Amino acid sequence: MSKRRKNFLELALIYTIIGVMFVIIFYPLLWALGLSLNPGSSMYGARMIPDNWSLEHYVWLFTDPRSNYVQWYQNTLIVAFSTSLIATFMVALVAYAFSRYRFVGRKNGLYAFLLVQMFPVLMAMVALYILLNMVGLLDSLLGLIIIYVGGAIPMNAFLVKGYFDTIPRELDESARIDGAGHLRVFFQIMLPLAKPILAVVALFNFMAPFMDFILPRIVLRSPENFTLALGLFNFVNDQFANNFTRFAAGAILIAVPIAAVYLFLQRYLISGLTSGATKG
C-alpha cells in the first residue's frame, strides 16, 4: 500500500469517527430543540423540524404565573456561582497546603481523599439529610451549597495538588527571599500560574447544580427553593403532567449560562498558560 493511500485511509477513518461522535452528541440536542418548538405538550407526533414551529413554550416559561421557571433559574444560578467560587478557593487552599508543606497526617490525608471518592454519594444521603435537619439547613439553598462545596474538595484538591507540584519550588523560595509571606506567595504566584486547572475546577463545579437531581430532591422541599433540574421534573411528572415540550424548552435554556461561563473561563485558561510559560 502506497503512503499516499495509507494517509488517505487514516484521514477517512478519523473523519468517520468524528462524524459518528458528532451524530451521537448533536442528534439528541437537535431533537430537544425541535421538541421545544413543537406546539402542544406531547412528544408523540412531534417532529425534529416542526412545520409550524413556535416559541410559545419559551414565552410561557417566563410569563405565565403558574410557571416558577424564573425562580428556579435564579436559585440554580445562586447555587452554581456560590459553589463554583467557594469550592475553587477552598480547593486551591487545600491543594496548596498538601503540595508545599510537610505536616503530620499529610500522606494519610491524601489517601483519605482518594478513599472518599470510591464511595457513591448515595451512601451519604441519609446522613446528609439528618445533618442538615439538625443544623436547620434542610430545604435551603445554603444547605445545598455546603454539600456541593464539601463534595467538591477531595477529588478536585487531589487534582490541583498534582498541578501545584509541577510549579517549580524555586519561585516560592525567590519570593520568600524578597520578603513575601505564605499568603502572598499563594495569591500572587501560585494562583496566577494555576489558572488553567482552577478554571476547569470552577467550570465543573458551576455545571454540577444545573445537572444534579438527586441532591436537590433530598434537600429541597418548597417549590420556591427548587433548582432547575428538580423544577423541570415537575413538567413531566407532577403539576403539568407529561408536558415534554415545555420540559424541552426549559432544558435547552440551561445551556446558556454554562456556555457563557465556559467562554469567560477560556480567556483565563489561555492567560494562565502564557503566564506560566513566562514565569517558568
Q: Work out whether the CA dihedral 37, 38, 41, 45 comes out positive or negative.
A: negative
Same domain, 78 and 37: no
Range of the domain at 138: 68-279
Residues 102 and 179 in one domain: yes
Query: What is the distance between the alpha carbons of residues 114 and 1, in angstroms, rounded to a whole number?
Result: 49
All three cell numbers of 5: 493511500
Residue 43 lies in a domain: yes
Same domain for 109 and 85:
yes
> Is position 60 within any domain?
no
- Residue 62 maps to a domain: no
Identify the CATH number of the domain in which residue 107 sits: 1.10.3720.10
pLDDT one digit per residue (tens) for the chain, 280 residues: 677 888 888 889 999 999 999 888 888 888 888 888 888 766 666 677 777 888 888 998 998 887 889 999 999 999 999 999 999 999 999 999 998 888 888 888 888 887 877 777 778 888 889 999 999 999 999 999 999 999 899 889 988 998 898 888 888 888 888 888 888 888 988 888 888 889 989 999 999 999 899 899 999 989 899 999 998 887 777 654 567 888 888 989 998 999 899 888 887 766 544 443 334 4
| pTM (whole model) above 0.95 | no
50 and 77, same structural domain?
A: no
The verdict on residue 59 lying in a domain is: no
Question: Are both 176 and 37 inside the same structural domain?
Answer: no
Please indicate, yes or no, whether residues 146 and 200 belong to a single structural domain of this protein.
yes
Q: Is residue 233 located within the same domain as residue 162?
A: yes
C-alpha cell read off for 37: 418548538
What span, in angstroms and rounded, lies between the C-alpha atoms of 151 and 156?
9
Structurally, how many domains does the chain consist of? 2
